[in-house]
Chains A and B, each alone.
Chain A
Amino acid sequence: MTTPAAVSHTQQTDVRYYSRFTLAQRYLHAVVMVTFLGLAATGLTLRFSESPWSIGFAKAIGGYSAILFFHKLSALGLTVVFVMHVANVLYRVAAKREYGLIWGPDSLVPNLKDFRDFFGNLRWFLWLGPKPKIDRYAYWEKVDYWAVFWGMGIIGLSGYALWFAPFFAKLIPGSWMSIALLIHGEEALLAVGFIFTIHFFNEHLRPDNFPMDLTIFTGRQTEAEFAERHPEEYQRKLELGKLESLRLPPPERWLINMSRLIGVTVVVIGFVILAYTIRAFLKS
């Protein structure tokens, strides 16, 4: 089978595209992506501040004050989109009664099928069974999604406690600030390690998706991709006659090129940060 990218420009007119992510979701991902890179680059510079790479990077962007400024700016950006997202979900559930967001095949909330898919996938990995039929969100995608909530809770709260230490010391004992800094840094290492290896591989670098899955950037997938990656959802929507409402025109040339450029850039930056982190971690 030819790669989706090859399909997209050789048989453009024959290939049918279906929506997977809304424009708002794509922007959400973009902001999270950029702020995460900003937080990782500046945060790791602080975490491994004695490394010559850190000192050089800090000098290059304007010293410790620039490092702190961009760290806090990125944190604010991430917090804003995170709060907007949570508020949006709550609004859609509470006011518009979209209970499908909370429960059901289109929900990101883990359910029993995710566990079945996980064990099914393990069997498939070991040539013991067929590939599980994934619905709208695979269990590894749900892990990616909820990891942000866990990360925002742990890194975000500890970060704000450190940022506004005199204020937070009125709410929690000041002696907890050492704990806040410790878990802030450790959880950040986990996030960096997770995103720049597991997320990159699962979504972009594994042989099925290599070199780049552009779905999160273009918002759409081909029918073949849809049927192969989300067979359960495809089948269900086909039977319910909902497929046609998801039809979208093929992504424009510029959108594909821009998505590739952004995607490759981010993966390369991520790998540089990862290499730096591993090196500094092993040295410390």
Chain B
Amino acid sequence: MQRQNRLAVFLLPAVCWFWGTAVAFGAAAGDATCLGCHAEKEALHASIHGSLGCGDCHTTIRAFPHPEHVAPVNCSTCHTTEGSGVSSSVHAHSSQQPCLSCHGDAHGILAAKDPKSPVYALNLPRTCGTCHGNQDFVKKHGLPDVYSEYIDSIHGFALTKDGLLVAATCSSCHGAHDILTKKDPKSRTNRANIPATCGACHQGIETAYFAGVHGKGLKAGNPAVPACQNCHTAHQIADVREAAWKMKTAATCGGCHKEKFQTYRDTLHAQVSSLGYVETAHCWDCHRAHDILPKSDPASSVAQAHLVETCGKCHSGIGASFVSYEPHADPHNAQAYPALHASAVFMNLLLASVLGFFILHTILWFIRSRGGNPS
């Protein structure tokens, strides 16, 4: 007994010293030790991680002095969801520390809601743009220069000019951590998922889109139908009330509907449009923009029963005869438009024969007049 008590008297202070030192190093007393060398890391106390000690992140450092090379901090120890998101994302193999590329200085990380944070909604495009607006970077990786496209879009203007927090920024469409390439079927920007992604804000448009032929086709897996970005582009999205956008739309629809575009160009609508008449009929004025339905569907804006109403938006005082006008009549199609085709053939023959006849008459006259009289 006596010998055992004596041993305890020696061991207790030693255990207490060791335990106390270890605890103190992990907490405030330990931080003081760190700051003895790393004074500039004091900034941590102002960051969102201010309540943490150095050792909470630098978990491999257990004693002073520590080895020259220490393991990098693993943020996903705490931020598990974000961590696993990034590790399966396009940024997983980023050569730099992926978290800090966006969140900024390791010891000065701010809450995403803090206006000074690089990932604050109004700052995010610039942050992503450090790489995705960098000409060398985008060229090296074969990426589009999305930053400048976005900044000049309606979303970019809403953000930069109006400071609109609800304006779509990079993460609104791409997500923040789990960003996937658009080729990935799980990606928010995969063709099949785009209407839902845009619909997160543009709910009404999404509903209208899925009521129309394009939306129905997308749902059915038709690879030919457009999703939002096919007409609106992904990053250069314009204000649809702007003249410049309206003037481009016929060519946009015409990118797929080539024949309809060709016949539209023959109409007075297209002619005055080319000369700058914004309000004249463009595709969507008659067919609608999102809930586009075929003529055969009774709910369609171009269904027989709705034509007077649709054309009547511009042409007042019209009736059934007026709407028998065929805006896409094709003079080359003899079967569908026999009278128009016959008129075109007649006019061509008339032009060729009258001009041909009189030009020949004129040439003969000219030669004769120049030649003078042989007598």
Contact = CB atoms under 8 A, between A and B. Distances in A.
Contact of A198 (B270, B339, B359): B359
Nearest to B367: A125
Interface string A183-196: 10011011001100
A181 interface: yes
Interface string A82-106: 0000000000000000000000000
Contact of A170 (B267, B319, B361): B319
B272 A64 contact: yes
B23 interface: no
Given A126-B364, A182-B344, A207-B366, A68 B272 contact: yes
Contacts of B322: 165-166, 169, 174
A8 B368 CA distance: 26
B321 A174 contact: yes
Nearest to A171: B321
Contacts, number: 139
B268 interface: yes
B355 A194 contact: yes
Interface residues of B, number: 49
Contact of B347 (A47, A127, A186): A186
Interface string B266-291: 11101111111100000000000000
B361 to A, nearest CB: 8
Nearest to A68: B272
Main secondary structure of the interface of B (DSSP, over half): helix
B347 A67 contact: no
B364 A182 contact: no
A166 B275 contact: no
Q: How large is the interface on A (under 10, 10 to 19, 20 to 34, 35 or more residues)?
A: 35 or more
A121 B358 CA distance: 13
B275 A190 contact: no
A122 B361 CA distance: 8
B317 A166 contact: yes
B367 to A, nearest CB: 7
Interface in A205-258: 206-208
Nearest to B307: A174
Interface in B22-64: none
| B361, B367, B371, B374, most chain A CB atoms within 10 A | B361
Contacts of B317: 166-167
B321 A189 contact: no
B343 to A, nearest CB: 5
A149 interface: no
Contacts of B355: 190, 193-194, 197-198
Given A186-B347, A194-B354, A202-B362, A173 B275 contact: no
B19 interface: no
Contacts of B365: 121, 125, 201-202, 206
B321 A207 contact: no
Interface stretch (B83-91, B148-156, B324-332): B324-332
A169 B318 contact: yes
A152 interface: no
A143 B361 CA distance: 13
Contacts of A124: 368
B98 to A, nearest CB: 49
A160 B21 CA distance: 101
Given A58-B275, A68-B272, A174-B323, A127 B374 contact: yes
B358 A49 contact: no
A58 B274 CA distance: 10
Nearest to B277: A64
B272 A49 contact: yes
Contact of A186 (B324, B351, B367): B351
A166 B347 contact: no
Interface in B231-276: 265-268, 270-276
Given A126-B364, A166-B318, A190 B324 contact: no
Nearest to A143: B358
Given A54-B275, A64-B276, A174 B362 contact: no
A47 B344 CA distance: 15
A129 to B, nearest CB: 11
A210 B317 CA distance: 54
A201 B275 contact: no
A190 B368 contact: no
A162 B324 contact: no
A100 B321 CA distance: 46
A207 B374 CA distance: 16
A205 B340 CA distance: 38
5 contacts: A49-B274, A59-B276, A67-B275, A175-B325, A187-B347
A-B CB proximity, top 5 nearest: A49-B274, A64-B275, A169-B322, A186-B347, A125-B364
Given A46-B272, A179-B343, A187-B347, 6 more contacts: A47-B271, A63-B275, A64-B277, A182-B343, A202-B365, A206-B369
